[in-house]
């Protein structure tokens, strides 16, 4: 059987590259041209807060069911602005999950706050209320809830308990834009979910719209959202040099008319136009990715208990697909991932977003409450890539490659 593996000279399961996402399609091209034509026609330099930025922010808020959106220059900036807008006590503690991107946790540090890292659930990249509660102290001021891999957290429960403890709640929806959670009774059908979008539950939400994200604005970008008008006003101030542009008494052109000290995190019109085009097709993107995920999950049943997908819900907005290997193969996980890559399967062998393993976490002496589940998940999983153009052929090839590798390691 070993001779049949591509790594050892056999024919690979997939000979060509996976389907390209083509995130920069005709709609995005037309959007860029529209920006150029508009500003050439009106004979004006594209400004901050121009017509295309306002269109993006308005459309985003409409899809969220109300509230206020603010487009900014990057996802890390979105996290930073969201935190700063809450005006948390300097030096206070913010709970952050043990699997996250550096942009979120560095935003906490750069805002003058202290991160406290809690564990994830077992067999998951996401945390839950039980783990969050273990990190709360008298110094805790907020919870930074990260929806990883497109899978929404138990955010309603987290919100209810955060309110009881008097804590602010920030949602990082970068990997799960417009993922949804069901109401008290699930009304999902097929690959659709009619629940409320994540990001609308917390006090404020941050989104990365960089080029790899499901919702993108080109090379870099971000969005900050809140249903609270006072926080939304603070977001405007924190994203543009402390200027209270929301006020009828704001004095344009007077840089001294600022409420707080803040930097310029404005975005640009071309990025916002690209973002609007991406946003307008996002629901279709999510539906196609969900369909692929659920069909793959159904086919994966034949590989139990050797391989399985991380638990996912109807409302997921898929970003990548974690596959968990049986504990019997934990020591061979990297070998298995390498064999699959040689078979032509596009994947990430090891996910390095486990905060407890970072050198910088030790250097800055961040408090790690517990990391057992996060480290175990990293040791026993690898991540399949996907996009909205993955179809049945890719499912068949993934399953075939998994069966091929499994036959070898079982010998």
Return the CATH number at 181.
3.40.640.10
Given this model, what pLDDT does residue 409 score?
A: 85
For residues 97 and 114, membership in a common domain is answered with yes
- The answer to whether residue 80 sits within a structural domain is yes
HSE value, Cβ hemisphere, 13 Å, CA-based, for 355 = 31
- The answer to whether residue 97 sits within a structural domain is yes
Could you state, in chain order, the average pLDDT of each consecutive group of 10 residues for the chain (411 residues)? 85 94 95 98 96 98 98 98 98 98 97 98 98 98 98 97 98 98 66 85 98 96 98 98 94 93 98 98 96 96 96 92 96 97 97 97 97 98 98 97 91 72
- The answer to whether residue 363 sits within a structural domain is no
Complete edge-to-edge strand list for the sheet that includes strand 381-385: 307-309, 320-325, 381-385, 347-348
For residues 164 and 87, membership in a common domain is answered with yes
Per-residue CA distances from 396 to 160, 246, 254, 297, 345 (Å):
42, 53, 62, 12, 11
Burial class (CB in 10 A: 0-12, 13-18, 19+), 124: buried
3 state SS for 254-265: CCCCCCCCCCEC
Last residue of a domain, one of 280, 309, 331: 280
Given this model, what pLDDT does residue 314 score?
A: 86
For residues 234 and 347, membership in a common domain is answered with no
For residues 245 and 289, membership in a common domain is answered with no
The reply to whether omega before 99 is within 30° of 0 (cis) is no
Contact 241, 255 (CB under 8 A): yes
For residues 291 and 210, membership in a common domain is answered with no
**What are 324's strand-pairing partners?**
308, 381
d(CA 318, CA 341): 21
For residues 245 and 321, membership in a common domain is answered with no
For residues 55 and 125, membership in a common domain is answered with yes
Last residue of a domain, one of 280, 299, 327: 280
- The answer to whether residue 62 sits within a structural domain is yes
Residue by residue, DSSP assigns 339-394 as: HHHHTT--EESS---BGGG-HHHHHTT-EE---HHHHHHHHTEEEEE--TT--HHH
Residue 154 domain boundaries: 26-280
Last residue of a domain, one of 223, 257, 280: 280
- The answer to whether residue 359 sits within a structural domain is no
Query: Which are the contacts of 373, defined by CB distance < 8 A and separation ≥ 6?
Result: 98, 119, 120, 121, 122, 123, 124, 131
Given this model, what pLDDT does residue 1 score?
A: 62
Given this model, what pLDDT does residue 261 score?
A: 96
Contact 126, 172 (CB under 8 A): no
Given this model, what pLDDT does residue 184 score?
A: 60
For residues 291 and 338, membership in a common domain is answered with yes
For residues 383 and 405, membership in a common domain is answered with yes
Q: What's this model's pTM, rounded to 2 decimal places?
A: 0.96
- The answer to whether residue 57 sits within a structural domain is yes
């Amino acid at each position: 059987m070993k001779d049949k593996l591509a790594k050892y000279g056999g024919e690979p399961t997939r000979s060509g590259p996976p389907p390209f996402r083509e995130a920069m399609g005709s709609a995005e091209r037309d959007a860029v041209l529209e920006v150029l034509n508009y500003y050439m026609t009106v004979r004006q330099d594209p400004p901050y807060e121009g017509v295309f930025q306002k269109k993006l922010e308005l459309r985003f808020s409409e899809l969220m069911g109300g509230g206020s959106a603010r487009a900014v220059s990057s996802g890390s900036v979105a996290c930073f602005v969201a935190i700063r807008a809450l005006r948390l006590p300097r030096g206070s503690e913010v709970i952050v999950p043990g699997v996250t991107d550096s942009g979120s946790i560095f935003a906490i540090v750069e805002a003058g706050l202290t991160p406290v890292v809690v564990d994830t659930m077992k067999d998951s990249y996401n945390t839950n209320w039980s783990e969050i509660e273990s990190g709360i102290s008298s110094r805790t001021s907020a919870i930074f809830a990260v929806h990883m891999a497109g899978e929404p957290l138990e955010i309603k429960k987290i919100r209810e308990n955060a309110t009881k403890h008097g804590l602010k709640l920030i949602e990082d929806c970068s990997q799960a834009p417009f993922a949804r959670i069901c109401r008290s009774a699930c009304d999902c059908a097929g690959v659709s979910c009619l629940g409320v979008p994540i990001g609308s539950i917390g006090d404020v939400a941050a989104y990365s719209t960089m080029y790899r994200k499901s919702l993108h604005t080109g090379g870099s970008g971000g969005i900050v959202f809140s249903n609270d008008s006072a926080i939304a006003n603070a977001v405007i101030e924190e994203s543009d040099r402390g200027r209270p542009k929301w006020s009828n008494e704001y004095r344009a052109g007077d840089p001294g008319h600022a409420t707080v000290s803040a930097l310029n995190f404005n975005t640009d019109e071309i990025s916002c136009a690209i973002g609007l085009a991406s946003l307008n097709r996002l629901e279709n993107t999510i539906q196609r990715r969900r369909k692929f995920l659920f069909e793959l999950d159904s086919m994966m049943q034949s590989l139990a208990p050797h391989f399985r997908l991380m638990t996912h819900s109807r409302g997921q907005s898929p970003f990548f697909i974690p596959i968990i290997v049986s504990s019997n193969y934990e020591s061979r996980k990297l070998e298995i991932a390498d064999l699959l890559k040689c078979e032509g399967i596009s994947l990430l062998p090891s996910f390095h977003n486990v905060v407890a393993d970072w050198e910088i976490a030790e250097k800055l002496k961040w408090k790690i409450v517990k990391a057992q589940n996060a480290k175990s998940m990293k040791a026993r999983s690898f991540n399949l890539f996907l996009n909205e153009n993955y179809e049945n052929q890719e499912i068949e090839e993934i399953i075939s490659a998994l069966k091929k590798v499994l036959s070898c390691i079982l010998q």
